[in-house]
Amino acid sequence: MVVTGKRKRTTVSYAETTNEDFDDGEGVDDIVQVYSDDDDTTFGSKRKSIKKKQAKRAKLSIPRKAAEAKPFRFLDLPAELRDMIYELALTDTYGISLVPKLKSGRRTATRSMVFGEDAYDNAYGYYRRRHAHRLKRDALEEAPKLTDLSPTILLANKQIYSEGISFLYNQDFIFDDTVTLFQFLAVIGVRNQPRLLNLEIKRWGSGRGKDKAMNHGAFALLAPAINLQSVIIDSSIHWRAQPKKLAAQIYRDAHHFLEAYGIANGDRGAGADVIGLGEAAFKSHYYRAEESVDAEEGMGQVRDHLRKLLRAN
């Protein structure tokens, strides 16, 4: 027999009770009611099931959403501060030194130490080669470390490009030779060539190979660079040191650039003021050493002869 209901029984007491046994306010009916509500003394009552404590499971940690990267609003900076950042990211205090390099089967120019023509003078026997080797070694020891540049900042947007591109091209560029100059100009294109201001060439091409041919080719590509302030050739360009012969050599190899520069600046002879020669150009390789002239005096004579050649044609 299954008892499904809950039955209450009246509790019977055989003891004689009086009202004195109870305090005021608490009668027999109250006690009876208390015991009658006790589930434990009720026959056939259904006990409430005790809930088992469930083992607490560690909640699966839901990965928090990565904080959305808030881009730095570079263009909100003052113009003066942006210029300082461009200067740090795009310029080298000692200028940009470039040498030729073959990369992925393509001829280009890359940053490296430039030694000058004396370090490559290995055509006169063992002792001259030893001397050239020492020059390179000493130059590497004394050379400052190349500054790491970040030209990729110019790829951010058009405004940053327009603001920062002049910092990259307005600094000094030092080229190992005219081959490097040719490859550099071919890479930057006509659009960026007018931004160039100061160039220095450490070796002038000589001989009957491509090096000599690159003298003319490099200056032909330089024709759009009509805003140049100086082109320094720190090398011997002719085996004689006579100013007239030096001017003729420069005109022969650089007339495309010199004429374009003169037309753009309203004076056909203006290109002569841009060209500069180092002391090595005025040291004669002729057997008559007395042909060597003072660099400052000789440079004035070279420019005079060069202006005559430019204005005569």
The yes-or-no verdict on residue 276 having pLDDT over 80 is yes
For the ranges 3-7, 48-52, 264-268, the one whose mean pLDDT is highest? 264-268
What is residue 213's predicted lDDT score, i.e. its pLDDT?
Answer: 81
Residues 12-61 pLDDT 10s: 555 555 555 545 544 444 444 444 444 444 444 555 555 555 666 656 66
Torsion (CA) 133, 135, 136, 142 in degrees, nearest 10: 150
Instruction: Give the residue-averaged pLDDT of 64-68.
Output: 60
CA 33 to CA 11: how far, in whole Å? Answer: 9
Calculate the alpha carbon distances from 248 to 16, 34, 38, 159, 292 in Å: 149, 131, 128, 45, 17
CA 207 to CA 153: how far, in whole Å? Answer: 42
Tokens read off for 71: 């881009």
Closest by CA to 233, choosing from 253, 209, 260, 213, is: 253
Enter the pTM of the model: 0.70
Residues 71-118 pLDDT 10s: 888 899 999 999 999 999 999 988 999 988 888 888 889 888 887 665
> Tokens 């930057």 — which residue?
188
Residues 130-159 pLDDT 10s: 655 566 666 566 666 778 899 999 999 999
User: In this structure, are residues 86 and 152 in contact, taking their beta carbons and an 8 Å threshold?
Assistant: no
